[in-house]
Amino acid sequence: MATVLTDDDIAMAREANFVVALTGAGVSAESGIPTFRDRETGLWAKYDPVQLATPEAFERDPELVTRWYDSRRILCAAAKPNAAHLALARWERELEKRGHILLLVTQNIDRLHHAAGSRNVIELHGTLWVWRCATCGEEREERGGAFESFPPRCACGGMRRPGVVWFGESLSVDAIRRIEKALKACDLFLSIGTSGVVYPAAGFLRTAKDECARAIEINREPTPLSRHADRSWIGNAGEILTELVERAFPATVG
């Protein structure tokens, strides 16, 4: 189905040699994973984020917090990458063939970009697949298997917490350094399926623009970032990205 894209849009994608794509919960929505801030179906329609996504919440009620993350862990374990994940993975491969770069910076903790085949990925807010002991720091892969207790316990007796970044916690210094370098060097920046209200990610589009990159937003609705973007494409990320990548890099037969 044709979307909002013009031939100029396609040329802009085809000619970009260094792309930075920032993704948010909207990119996984088409895989059946709820976003955070949707008024009806969002994860926070029923919960106050401060009660769940802060270190204070974990200290206050570790059982409630780990049960909430565990239910999301089970949901994400069953989810499959959608057209948006697949299109971004294909775009990365097309650029790689030409000696160019696509860096995917995701705020999502579901690893669906990896499942789709993306390799150059920074997980800005961590991952739900690694749980860390709050006492000794030991990390363990936790995919779909059931936990024995809430919170799960480390051999040292400490409580395990999801390896995600909560409000008020620092992001990886290494990741921020890599992203800042990429924002200076990229020629195209995309903000996809994110409400653009959580920092530092919400500042990346303006930084890229200040460094002369073209900035594009893809979202089902306008956000606070829309007025800073060169183009704001309203629609589903899966449809728009599929068309963009298929038209920019048509598959050759034979």
- Binding residues vs ligand BJW (CB under 6 A): 24-26, 29-30, 35-37, 42, 53, 107, 109, 125, 164-171, 193-195, 197-200, 218-221, 223, 236-237
Q: Is 23 exposed, middle or buried (0-12, 13-18, 19+ CB in 10 A)?
A: buried
Q: Does 156 bind Zn ion (CB under 5 A)?
A: yes
Q: Is 114 assigned a catalytic role?
A: no
Identity of the residue, 24 or 152, whose beta carbon is nearer to Zn ion in the bound complex: 152
The one-letter amino acid code at 16 reads: A
Q: Does 139 bind Zn ion (CB under 5 A)?
A: no
Among 86, 154, 159, 165, binds Zn ion (CB under 5 A): 154
158 binds, among Zn ion, ligand BJW, none (CB under 5 to 8 A by kind): Zn ion
Q: Does 158 bind Zn ion (CB under 5 A)?
A: yes
Q: Does 136 bind Zn ion (CB under 5 A)?
A: yes
| 3-state SS, one letter per residue, for the chain | CCCCCCHHHHHHHHHCCEEEEEECHHHHHCCCCCCCCCCCCCCCCCCCHHHCCCHHHHHHCHHHHHHHHHHHHHHHHHCCCCHHHHHHHHHHHHHHHCCCEEEEEECCCCCHHHHHCCCCEEECCEEEEEEEECCCCCEEECCCCCCCCCCCECCCCCEEEEEECCCCCCCCHHHHHHHHHHHHHCCEEEEECCCCCCCCHHHHHHHHHHCCCEEEEEECCCCCCHHHCCEEEECCHHHHHHHHHHHHCCCCCC
Identity of the residue, 53 or 122, whose beta carbon is nearer to ligand BJW in the bound complex: 53
26 binds, among Zn ion, ligand BJW, none (CB under 5 to 8 A by kind): ligand BJW
- What's the closest the beta carbon of residue 27 comes to ligand BJW, in angstroms? 7
- What's the closest the beta carbon of residue 103 comes to ligand BJW, in angstroms? 17
Identity of the residue, 92 or 217, whose beta carbon is nearer to ligand BJW in the bound complex: 217
* Of 100, 113, 125, 228, catalytic: 125
Could you tell me the two tokens for 7? 């031939």
Q: Does 135 bind Zn ion (CB under 5 A)?
A: yes
Identity of the residue, 17 or 180, whose beta carbon is nearer to ligand BJW in the bound complex: 180
- What's the closest the beta carbon of residue 232 comes to ligand BJW, in angstroms? 11
36 within 8 A of 125, measured Cβ to Cβ: no
Taking contact as CB under 5 A, which single stretch among the options 2-10, 153-161, 206-214, 215-223 is the one that binds Zn ion?
153-161
Instruction: Point out the residues that are catalytic.
Output: 125
Binding site for Zn ion (CB under 5 A): 133, 135-136, 138, 154, 156, 158
